[in-house]
């Protein structure tokens, strides 16, 4: 297909609904009216450099959390960990546990938003159902228990984050060298009390999604981005599921970045953040502001990899907690040892929610969680620092270079959505090929394309998500750019 003549018509979907951002999709048709390729155009530009250069490295947490407002906690934690490297300190064990706790809470609440609020209306009500109802409100009407479960899970995660970092929107709670405060006993009790309900909510989502997969989402499994590609994620020192890379690169801590091909062979293993520049390169395309990171050794095509919940579950030997491990086994029975169907990112998210809850439970029992030895103090002891963590959407790298006083000279961030960029384009191409019969636009097709992107839960804007239907503009254009047709819904 890629050898087809120049595209003749272009169908544009703009803006995406229920993706946290503004994006535009074009579908390029060949002369016969078949899909040549589909592209997700990201036109947001975030000038990180301009904000960061010349600033104290201690401010990076606040700056990156503000610029990337979708998952501020991930940036906060990764910026703090990069700061640890510049101070050249090992943070107190209690601080590491507390940072882990916050990261788990963030993954949990972000996955809850993605699955319950943004995706389940489509999954439950169907792609071709009334657009007016295919949103959170329609979900509340159709399955109030599921909607409540999602809202409750988000709240659980957000309250844990607030208990740690305070009520302010972007808490500078994690700082280079550690964290600023622990949990008190009362907070610990409050969170523990919410756990049974939270477990029940995740189980509800899991049962529903698995039933839908068995009953009527078989086609989606094959069409919504099923292809071979490498996967990249962190694993711990014993090869188990990992989400926090704070101690990577510290002697004796093991674990690290793992990369696996979809046939299960290891492409890289046990790397720390400093390997980032050797391991990865970034391609730039004129039609998107979002870069395309790839594995340097394999080149931009074969080296495009996937990150995020599915990657983490694919790469780990096991998760390390009983409930989540049972589900992981089932996932592998369903999709193979290395699951290539991007539609199963949803299932991976649900399994990770279980893993988060189990690990939160474990951490809450740890006496260190209420410790007061939380922060190592030091000056600038290294001129360069890299840290890597798992954000809800995938692996997040921060890399800073500073001068002798700690003023930032250079910054590079590699974010999850960028690493899934190529995969998202492949996914929507696959969907468009399958569902665009003879160039006919339909509400169902548009919604499937959006849903294909939603498998990856991209963080395309700092705007809040839409609880209802957002305006959608569909344009059909000729090869010369002339508008042939336009569909709009408001």
Q: CB nearer to other proteins: give 55 or 362.
A: 55
Residue 287: φ, ψ to 5°: -95, 5
**Minimum separation from the CB atom of position 58 to other proteins (A):** 5
The C-alpha atoms of residue 333 and residue 337 are separated, in whole angstroms, by 8
β-strands 483-489, 24-29: how paired?
Answer: unpaired
Output b/e per residue, 149-161; b: 16+ Cβ within 10 A: bbbbbbebbbbbb
The neighbour count for residue 286, using CB atoms within 10 Å, is: 4
Supply the minimum distance, in Å, between the C-beta of residue 301 and other proteins: 38
Least CB distance from residue 59 to other proteins, whole Å? 6
Least separation in angstroms between CB 57 and other proteins: 10
Which residues of this chain interact with other proteins, rule CB under 8 A? 51, 54-56, 58-59, 61-63, 66, 166, 168, 170-172, 175-177, 180, 377, 379, 405-407
> What is the separation, in whole angstroms, between the first and last Cα of the chain?
34
**Least distance to other proteins from the beta carbon of 167, Å?**
11
SS (H, E, C) 377-418: CCCCCCCEEEEEEEECCEEEEEEEEECCCCEEEEEEEECHHH
Residue 83 or residue 194: which is nearer to other proteins going by CB?
83
Smallest separation, CB 67 to other proteins (Å): 9
> Nearest approach, Cβ of 76 to other proteins (angstroms)?
9
Answer for the pair 271, 257: CB distance below 8 angstroms, yes or no. Answer: yes
168 vs 438 by CB, closer to other proteins: 168
Nearer to other proteins, 46 or 55 (CB): 55
Q: Residue 58 or 359: which CB sits closer to other proteins?
A: 58
Angle between helices 185-215 and 322-335 (to 10 degrees): 20
Nearer CB in complex with other proteins: 67/479: 67
**Nearest C-alpha neighbor of 470 from the set 478, 460, 482, 484:** 460
Residue 55 CA to residue 407 CA, distance in Å, equals 5
Residue among 180 and 489 whose Cβ is closer to other proteins? 180
Cα→Cα distances 103→157, 191, 335, Å? 10, 15, 27
d(CA 402, CA 409): 5
Nearest approach in angstroms of CB 181 to other proteins is: 10
Q: Whose Cβ is closer to other proteins: residue 255's or residue 406's?
A: 406
C-beta closer to other proteins: residue 39 or 375: 375
Return d(Cα 183, Cα 163) in angstroms, integer. 7
Q: Using the minimum distance from each CB to other proteins, give the nearer residue, 36 or 74.
A: 74
Cβ atoms of residues 453 and 424 within 8 Å: yes
| Nearest-approach distance from CB 414 to other proteins, in angstroms | 21
* H or E element in which residue 152 lies: helix 144-165
- Dihedral over alpha carbons 93, 99, 102, 106 (to 10 degrees): -140
Where are any strands of DSSP class E within 88-242?
174-175, 178-179, 231-235
For residue 9, the minimal CB distance to other proteins (Å) is: 44
């Amino acid at each position: 297909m890629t050898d087809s003549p120049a595209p003749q018509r272009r169908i544009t979907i703009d803006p995406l609904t229920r993706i946290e951002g503004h994006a535009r999709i074009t579908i390029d048709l060949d002369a016969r009216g078949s899909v040549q390729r589909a592209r997700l155009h990201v036109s947001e530009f975030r000038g990180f450099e301009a904000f960061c250069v010349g600033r104290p490295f201690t401010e990076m947490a606040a700056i990156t959390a503000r610029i990337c407002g979708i998952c501020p906690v991930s940036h906060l934690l990764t910026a703090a960990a990069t700061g640890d490297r510049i101070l050249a300190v090992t943070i107190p064990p209690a601080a590491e546990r507390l940072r882990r706790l916050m990261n788990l809470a963030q993954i949990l609440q972000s996955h809850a938003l993605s699955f319950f609020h943004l995706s389940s209306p489509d999954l439950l009500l169907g792609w071709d159902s009334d657009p007016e109802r295919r949103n959170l409100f329609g979900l509340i009407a159709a399955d109030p228990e599921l909607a409540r479960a999602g809202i409750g899970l988000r709240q659980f995660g957000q309250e844990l984050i607030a208990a740690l970092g305070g009520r302010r929107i972007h808490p500078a709670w994690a700082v280079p060298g550690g964290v600023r405060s622990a949990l008190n006993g009362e907070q610990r009790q409050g969170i523990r009390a919410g756990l049974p309900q939270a477990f029940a909510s995740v189980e509800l989502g899991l049962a529903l999604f698995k039933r839908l997969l068995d009953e009527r989402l078989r086609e989606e499994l094959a069409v919504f981005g099923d292809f071979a590609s490498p996967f990249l994620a962190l694993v711990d020192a014993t090869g188990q599921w990992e989400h926090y890379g704070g101690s990577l690169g510290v002697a004796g801590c093991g674990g690290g970045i793992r990369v696996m091909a979809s046939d299960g062979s290891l492409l890289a293993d046990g790397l720390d953040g400093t390997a980032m520049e050797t391991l990865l390169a970034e391609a730039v395309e004129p039609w998107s502001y979002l870069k395309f990171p790839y594995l340097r050794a394999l080149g931009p095509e074969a080296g495009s990899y996937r990150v995020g919940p599915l990657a983490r579950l694919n790469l780990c030997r096991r998760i390390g907690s009983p409930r989540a491990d049972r589900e992981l086994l089932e996932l592998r029975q369903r999709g193979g040892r290395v699951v290539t169907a991007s539609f199963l990112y949803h299932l991976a998210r649900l399994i990770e929610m279980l893993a988060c809850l189990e690990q939160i439970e474990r951490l809450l029992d740890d006496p260190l969680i209420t410790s007061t030895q939380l922060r190592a103090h030091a000056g600038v002891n290294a001129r360069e620092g890299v840290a890597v963590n798992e954000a809800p959407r995938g692996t997040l790298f921060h890399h800073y270079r500073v001068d002798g006083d700690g003023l930032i000279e250079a910054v590079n961030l590699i974010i999850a959505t960028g690493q899934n960029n190529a995969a998202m384009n492949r996914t929507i191409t696959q969907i468009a090929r399958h569902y665009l019969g003879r160039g006919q636009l339909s509400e169902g097709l548009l919604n499937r394309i959006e849903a294909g992107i939603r498998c990856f839960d991209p963080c395309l804007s700092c705007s809040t998500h839409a609880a209802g239907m957002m305006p959608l503009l569909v344009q059909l254009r000729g090869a010369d750019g002339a508008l042939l047709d336009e569909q709009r819904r408001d």
